[in-house]
A and B are shown apart, each in its own frame.
Chain A
């Protein structure tokens, strides 16, 4: 049995079923992200783990103990909120010490732990400041220290980076991951930002409409999406309609080009139309070695992003996005020009 075990969780608000048959096992020290669009039920799952919502059915076990009916303050969890939620009437040190005081930890031990936590988050000298005297990033660091100080069994992160600016968000997410690894604390991270989820998670659970569409390592989720939703939600995807030529050999036709899928046989009949998907980085502008499929295209948009140039090209009736690295000796293509794009059948994802 996993350290944190969610079994057949369901949550119904009136006539609205927000979470449906959600099961997940999280090992001790694992960092799992719940990823999905707004209203997919990811926050509700987190709030059920925290004890803020009572499941309509199903169970939650932490370290073998059934906590489904337990109140939040009995579950020994730590939580970070999007809105920081630091106590405005307390100094940074008092905020961090709050959970320890509630637990009845002796003063000496408490002070030592607070100092340790403030060192851990890199703010050892700000203990006497009030939250309003700190920046957003500093406040969220304090919130992390406060959540970790009482040594919780599970750390719950409810979109803690959403209110921060882009630069701070990246540095803080790396810090959170580092600290989580250092302490080996089991963590659930809720986010709608796929890049955030992929960059720091051991595993990602992609949620849609209250159900878990797919759970797996970021590499697995990105490269082998099991549903059309996962494929579309995680990363950018180009979709092509292809006609099945020889299903037993995985042979298809895209824009007049014959493509033999690397996976071989596909579950379709001759003449059926199937949807293929390609990531932008799998498509090359021009011909390239190892990319056997070459299709003519018209350049419609060029976006210079610094290290990467994103090109949008039209292939028959389909718009295709492709990424190419910026090279100073190779200027980007001009809009309206014709070009060839190429890809390898190995990179093609056959959508269900």
Chain B
């Protein structure tokens, strides 16, 4: 009886998640009347704006990931090594982006960094791109910090640090050659989650008026019928692809298998 209930709950869950996806995918294939085709996908891929916005978002995702790693890995490492008492505060700060809406953050940015401020980042394209990267890094902070912190939990940070120090290594060597490679899978998890967030983000990019993938999806959705679900399927495929990559990296990382 328990088994039956468990299977029923599982099937209901699967239907709840899969039905909308199946419906959306089916609709995206119905552009040609009376038969299934990839016309909507072809139209999306033929649109130059798709490649431009996708390329832009991908570049910013790369910049966000690099900035995120440089910010989060040393912070999480230092908190674990020297400031364990500061951990609740840091965790609280990293959770803030989940409760503060992106629109509030971006309006804060615009007020602080407008053209009449000391640091007029919104005055140039590059400055706005930098601002948008910082915004993306803030949005991704909860995921990146937790991923890296979980990775650090699997290794004896203090002893490895002391061992490296006794062999003459300084902080940068320790971080780059001991800590980072040992939490690489965790960092990559955080990086792929960041990529998924950046690719689909709309609010910040739209309000800072940048040609990102999120606003393009919204624009397409407002004017077309079949292309938006095709785009949504593509976005899902990118996200799932990222998750698959996380699994793949974990599987192929030889020393990581030892921890399992």
| A interface with B by C-beta (< 8 Å) | 50-52, 71-74, 76-79, 81, 83, 85-89, 98-99, 102-103, 130-132, 143, 146-147, 150, 156
Contact = CB atoms under 8 A, between A and B. Distances in A.
A102 B163 contact: no
A98 B181 CA distance: 14
A339 to B, nearest CB: 52
Contacts of A76: 168
A73 B174 CA distance: 11
A88 B162 contact: no
15 contacts: A73-B168, A73-B170, A74-B168, A77-B166, A78-B166, A79-B166, A89-B181, A89-B184, A98-B177, A102-B169, A103-B168, A130-B258, A147-B166, A147-B167, A156-B166
Contacts of A102: 167-169, 173
Interface of B: 155-156, 159-160, 162-170, 173, 177-178, 181-182, 184, 254-255, 257-259
A86 B259 CA distance: 14
Contacts of B254: 130
Q: A interface, by DSSP: helix, strand, loop or mixed?
A: mixed
Given A85-B160, A88-B182, A72 B165 contact: yes
A98 B169 CA distance: 9
A52 B155 contact: no
Given A130-B254, A130-B255, A87 B168 contact: no
Contact of B165 (A73, A131, A132, A156): A73
Contact of A79 (B156, B163, B178): B163
Given A130-B258, A132-B255, A83 B168 contact: no
A287 B194 CA distance: 84
Contacts of A98: 164, 167, 169, 177
Contacts of B258: 88, 130-132
Given A79-B166, A89-B178, A147-B166, 10 more contacts: A50-B166, A73-B165, A73-B166, A79-B163, A85-B159, A89-B181, A98-B177, A130-B254, A132-B258, A146-B167
Contact of B168 (A52, A85, A132, A150): A150
Nearest to B182: A89
A83 B156 CA distance: 9
B165 A87 contact: no
Nearest to B258: A132
Nearest to B173: A102
Contacts of B163: 79, 81, 85-87, 143
Of B159, B166, B177, most A-chain CB atoms within 10 Å: B166
Contacts of A103: 168
Contacts of A73: 165-170
Nearest to B154: A88
B162 A85 contact: yes
B174 to A, nearest CB: 9
Contacts of B156: 83, 85
Given A76-B168, A88-B258, A130-B258, A52 B173 contact: no
Contacts of B155: 88
A72 B168 CA distance: 7
A81 B182 contact: no
